[in-house]
Amino acid sequence: MNFVAMQGAVAQGVLWGIMVLGVYITYRLLNISDLTVDGSFALGGCVCATLIINFGMDPVLALVIAAIAGMLAGAATGILHTVLEIPAILAGILTQISLWSVNLRIMGGKSNLPLLKLETLISGVGDNFGITQAQASMIVGVIIALMLIAVLYWFFGTELGSALRATGNNEDMIRALGVDTNKMKLLALMLANGLVALSGALVCQHQKYADINMGRGAIVIGLAAIVIGEVLMNKLENFGMKLASVVIGSIVYFLIRAIVLDFGLNTNDMNLFTALFVAAALSIPVMMAKAQAKRAYSETGEEDEA
């Protein structure tokens, strides 16, 4: 793999890493597999592209509004789950399906919108510093990711953030302490999908177009990045480093993906490769733990007989 392709993979990894931060909040902290992600990622890109093309909006402001749109999508899933008591995974599917139509409406019925001749935050950085699109994406992505990690680290150290984390650890206990766990779930889903939509908007500005299918498979990519990050940095206990690990996991995932494609894998098989990778990454630790437990049981049995 050449150096240019590697830069492109790292740039994608950093920008998608912001999406993985959102998946981490719901999947690891709240123990919810939120399938809204595929729709809210595309929502962020569609909102961002529409605002820049049709309204000539500043790209930074477009990112903020895209994130707010993602939070509204997360709120929809949260209301379905907490108020209407629909299971979380089904609530996410319902919102994701709805967002397909919403995204098409936002883009005026078009399946994609190009930004080729329009200035974005990333192209502006590239032009000002005389660097490539990939390099500008890396700089912008790293700065935003670090800022978000710092804010999330602070937030989850507050009383509200601690209550949110406790809801995922032991919902019954935190409810007994007087915390409204439904509000915590709603907040977490809004925060997570806001990050996901922000990532989608950044990817839209990076690739210079928004597409109705740009979020397909996002949840699987998010899970893969989380697993990779945890394997690479499993000995780190600091919460801030755990947040950083998922972004690093995203970068590593896109590097692996670029290497696999460089070896000739058909791009149509990429989703299959990702699914198999995630399945293996999730199952291997379980199988190893079972093997160790069986070995320990056998050794104990032999000692007792002796």
pLDDT of 88 reads 93
Which residues, in sequence order, are CB contacts of 28 under 8 Å at separation 6+? 168, 226
CA distance 82 to 253: 33
CA distance 234 to 232: 6
pLDDT of 303 reads 55
Amino acid at 105: R
Question: What would the two tokens of residue 265 be?
Answer: 């894998």
Q: What DSSP letter does each residue of 55-113 carry, written as one string?
A: H---HHHHHHHHHHHHHHHHHHHHHHHHTS---HHHHHHHHHHHHHHHHHHHTTT-SEE
Give bridge partners of residue 210 from the DSSP assignment.
113
- Please list the rounded mean pLDDT of every run of 10 residues in the chain (306 residues): 84 96 94 93 97 95 97 97 94 96 95 92 94 94 96 95 92 90 96 97 96 91 90 82 94 90 81 81 79 79 57
Per residue in 140-158, pLDDT (tens digit) is 999 999 999 999 999 999 9
Position of tokens 């149509």? 268
pLDDT of 284 reads 74
pLDDT of 266 reads 81
Burial zone of 118 (CB within 10 Å; 0-12 exposed, 13-18 middle, 19+ buried): middle
pLDDT of 271 reads 78
How far apart, in Å, are the Cα atoms of 150 and each of 13, 200, 233? 19, 20, 18
SS3 content of the chain, % helix, strand, coil (to 5): 80, 0, 20
